[in-house]
């Protein structure tokens, strides 16, 4: 008998046994590759075993299970995401921005626990999307977004395509129920590779890794999610049943790792304020070298019993704090400074920058506000400047770096005439802003920006009338003003660039729908200086008709709440202008109408109450929530102050929520808000 005969005589594994072995091997190799970043076999070997498993499952479909590695590819598109109720809310964290706030946090925790030196876990604050993974008897059965903290969206099909998330926990004794909280994110290199593919395929690129991760995770077609490399880091617990009690945050993270869940290695147990700050400084110094984007670090009291004792305040735990990084700053060069012409003729200097990546976005332009600001900061063409994304959102030129100024750097000279229409640029005595004197009748730039406001969602809401189409309509003299929008026909529109007959017909229909509006929307759409959405509504409710507003003397306008001398003068000047009145009359002649009369409504349950909206609400848009508040007599503000009565907060609420909590302002969920508006009982 030969050696070959000996092996031939050995019992061969059954298909079920072979499938189980292949799955164990593939999961082990996948974990080493995606979680540990330490491949233990070549890709070719993994691919060979994967194909072998696919072939076996094809021959024996009864052996296919949901936790097989072959089931990560994504399925048919969904119509929409189902809602998921979090039995244990996914809370947000309070933020700290400087060392004094961190010291105060440590002092408060120490005093409330009655111990001198508190032990913390220090972890990273990832710039991704928070999710909840639900495992039952070790198998992944559901994944949901954070949503508003209590209600999220079911994204199970998409999460199953993320290779580093185990479909079955690697443990012989999984708890009957385990919910894992963590962050889905995209590594920087994977983000760059994705954008490269998007460009090659003629598709839209993503702004930053967070947007790419969020967009990928919220695809209705999970096959798209499967085509993009997403990652996951576990950092917290939701529901847990049938497991031995955990003693600390670190023990919990170690337990996650033992079950095959990815946990970020950049974590540490530290003691007291000094330990927290040392970790922050170390990570801040290494931020740009990390393979993923972070926007700060997170501190948590390590002992779970102490966490429970400290409890929660409002919608955040008292035992944890996010220490945010300061706004990112980068150096770049000013290639030129030119000016933009706004809707009201404002001439705004704009720095054209050598492209620079700041805070997750490539910045090429930054407003310099006005001529005085340029002089104050001494920004010159050719200068090397510090560019910052204030609050990681708005590009801002902080200052020039004088020691890097070239000899041929040129000062900015404000033009004397409008670069668009050639009219003289004037500088009113009481304003810092220079303005084109051409007016919207003569200046195409003012006309275009005015038409954009007129068609916007909060004004006449003409869907499909965007910036590029408005540019064509004005540049080709198809329309002279907003009234001409309501005389457009399909053949005229279809003859424009990038317009087909169907899109032309849709726009004509939208203009037809827009004829039926409200007085408040109409007033806002006119673009009267200093008359925003709230003021327009106040005027409409106070006077009840357009003619009453036109006829009102300035003294009567001043009697209206929140209308001062500047606003009143602007309203009178607008309706005293012949061109403006001609536009108003032509709009009405072309069919624009609204119900008039009535004055203020009687049921003003929110009268005088100031609201600030922040975050994403579960079912209402911000516009819808604002509409409800304003219709019930309330006011909507963009910033939190001592005058704010309520903050309506949704998912991923930011600094506005934190400031409101610090000021002791009442925080409302959408549910609280709707109940209050329905019953009329103020919280």
Phi/psi for 657 (5° steps) reads -65, -45
Task: Look at the chain and count its residues.
Answer: 683
Distance of alpha carbon 398 from alpha carbon 216, whole angstroms:
34
Residues 511 and 464 sit within 8 Å (Cβ to Cβ): no
Task: Return the structure tokens found at 240.
Answer: 């847990």
Residues 237 and 261 sit within 8 Å (Cβ to Cβ): no
Is 146 buried (19+), middle (13-18) or exposed (0-12) by CB count in 10 A?
A: buried
Distance of alpha carbon 468 from alpha carbon 472, whole angstroms:
6
Distance of alpha carbon 511 from alpha carbon 460, whole angstroms:
9
DSSP state of 29: H
Task: Return the structure tokens found at 60.
Answer: 């024996």
3-class SS string, 588-631 = HHCCCECCCCCCCCCCCCCCCCEEEEECECCCCCHHHHHHHHHH
Residues 179 and 134 sit within 8 Å (Cβ to Cβ): yes
Q: How far from 498 is each of 472, 495, 561, 612, 613, CA to CA, in Å?
A: 10, 9, 46, 40, 37
Phi/psi for 80 (5° steps) reads -165, 170
> Pairing between strand 666-668 and 646-649?
parallel
Distance of alpha carbon 281 from alpha carbon 297, whole angstroms:
10
Tell me the residue ranges of DSSP E strands in 422-559. Answer: 425-426, 434-436
Task: Return the structure tokens found at 88.
Answer: 């244990």
Q: How far from 297 is each of 213, 276, 379, CA to CA, in Å?
A: 20, 9, 34
Name the residue with tokens 């899109």. 503
Name the residue with tokens 């443990």. 171
Could you tell me if residue 369 is left (phi over 0), alpha (psi between -120 and 50 degrees) or otherwise beta? left
Q: Which SS3 state, helix, strand or coil, does residue 397 take?
A: strand
Name the residue with tokens 């104050």. 376
Task: Return the structure tokens found at 188.
Answer: 């920087």
Q: Give the DSSP H/E element, type plus range, for residue 177.
A: strand 177-185
Name the residue with tokens 């170690």. 254
Bridge partner list, 296:
125, 324
Q: How far from 179 is each of 256, 564, 652, CA to CA, in Å?
A: 11, 55, 20
Cβ neighbours, 10 Å, residue 398? 15
Name the residue with tokens 């194909």. 51
Residues 114 and 102 sit within 8 Å (Cβ to Cβ): no
Determine whether 125 is an active site residue.
yes
Cβ neighbours, 10 Å, residue 79? 6
* Contacts of 628 by beta carbon, 8 Å cutoff, 6+ apart: 620, 677
Task: Return the structure tokens found at 487.
Answer: 């005389």
Q: Give the DSSP H/E element, type plus range, for residue 295.
A: strand 294-301
Residues 94 and 321 sit within 8 Å (Cβ to Cβ): yes
Catalytic residue among 125, 447, 656, 659: 125
Report which of 502, 350, 372 is spatially closest to residue 427, judged by C-alpha positions.
372
Q: Which of the residues are catalytic?
A: 125
């Amino acid at each position: 008998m030969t050696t070959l005969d000996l092996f031939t005589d050995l019992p061969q594994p059954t298909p079920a046994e072979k499938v189980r072995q292949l799955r164990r091997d593939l999961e082990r190799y996948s974990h080493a590759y995606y979680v540990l970043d330490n491949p233990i076999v070549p890709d070719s070997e993994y691919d060979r075993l994967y194909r072998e498993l696919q072939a076996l499952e094809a021959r024996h479909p009864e052996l296919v299970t949901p936790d097989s590695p072959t089931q990560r590819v994504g399925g048919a598109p969904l119509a929409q995401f189902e809602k998921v109720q979090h039995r244990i809310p996914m809370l947000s964290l309070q933020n700290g921005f400087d060392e004094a706030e961190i010291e105060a946090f440590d002092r408060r925790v120490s005093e409330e626990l009655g111990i001198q030196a508190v032990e913390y876990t220090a972890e990273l604050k990832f710039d991704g999307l928070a999710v909840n993974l639900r495992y039952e008897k070790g198998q992944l059965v559901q994944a949901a977004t954070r949503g508003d903290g209590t209600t999220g969206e079911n994204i199970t099909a998409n999460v199953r395509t993320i290779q580093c998330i185990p479909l079955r926990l690697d443990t012989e004794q999984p708890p009957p129920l385990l919910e894992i909280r963590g962050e889905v994110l995209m590594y920087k290199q994977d983000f760059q590779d994705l954008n490269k593919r998007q460009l090659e395929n003629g598709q839209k690129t993503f702004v930053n890794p967070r947007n790419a991760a969020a967009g990928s995770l919220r695809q209705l077609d999970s096959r798209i999610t499967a085509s993009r490399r997403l990652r996951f880091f576990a950092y917290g617990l939701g529901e847990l049943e049938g497991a031995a009690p955990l003693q600390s945050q670190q023990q919990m993270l170690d337990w996650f790792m033992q079950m095959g869940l990815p946990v970020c290695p950049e974590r540490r147990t530290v003691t007291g304020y000094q330990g927290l700050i040392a970790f922050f400084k170390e990570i801040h110094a290494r931020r740009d070298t990390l393979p993923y984007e972070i926007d700060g670090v997170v501190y948590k009291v390590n002992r779970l019993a102490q966490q429970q004792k400290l409890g929660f305040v409002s919608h955040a735990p008292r035992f944890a704090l996010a220490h945010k990084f300061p706004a990112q700053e980068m150096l770049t060069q000013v290639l030129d400074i030119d000016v933009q012409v706004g809707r009201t003729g404002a001439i705004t200097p704009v720095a054209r920058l050598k492209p620079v990546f700041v805070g997750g976005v490539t910045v090429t332009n930054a407003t310099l506000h006005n001529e005085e600001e340029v002089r104050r900061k001494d920004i010159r063409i050719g200068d090397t400047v510090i560019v910052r994304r204030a609050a990681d959102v708005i590009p801002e030129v902080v200052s020039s770096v004088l020691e890097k100024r070239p000899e041929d750097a040129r000062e900015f000279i404000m033009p004397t005439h409008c670069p668009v229409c050639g009219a003289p640029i004037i500088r009113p005595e009481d304003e810092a802003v220079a303005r084109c004197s051409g007016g919207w009748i003569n200046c195409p730039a003012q006309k275009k920006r005015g038409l954009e406001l007129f068609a916007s969602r909060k004004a006449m809401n003409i869907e499909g009338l965007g910036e590029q189409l408005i540019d064509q309509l004005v540049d080709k003299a198809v329309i002279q003003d907003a009234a001409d929008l309501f005389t457009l026909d399909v053949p005229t529109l279809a003859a424009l660039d990038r317009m087909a007959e169907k899109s032309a017909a849709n726009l004509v229909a939208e203009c037809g729908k827009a004829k039926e509006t409200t007085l408040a929307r109409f007033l806002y759409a006119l673009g009267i200086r200093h008359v925003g959405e709230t003021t327009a509504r106040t005027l409409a409710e106070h006077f009840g008709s357009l003619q009453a507003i036109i006829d009102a003397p300035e003294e009567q306008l001043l009697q209206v709440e929140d209308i001062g001398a500047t606003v009143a003068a602007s309203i009178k000047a607008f309706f005293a202008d012949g061109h403006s009145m001609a536009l108003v009359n032509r709009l009405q002649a072309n069919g624009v109408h609204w119900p008039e009369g009535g004055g203020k409504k009687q049921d003003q349950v929110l009268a005088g109450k100031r609201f600030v909206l922040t975050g994403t609400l579960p079912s209402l848009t911000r516009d819808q929530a604002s509409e409800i508040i304003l219709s019930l007599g309330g006011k909507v503000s963009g910033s939190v102050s001592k005058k704010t009565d309520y903050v309506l907060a949704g998912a991923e609420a930011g600094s506005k929520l934190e400031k409101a909590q610090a000021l002791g302002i009442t925080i409302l969920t959408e549910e609280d808000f709707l109940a209050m508006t329905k019953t009329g009982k103020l919280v």
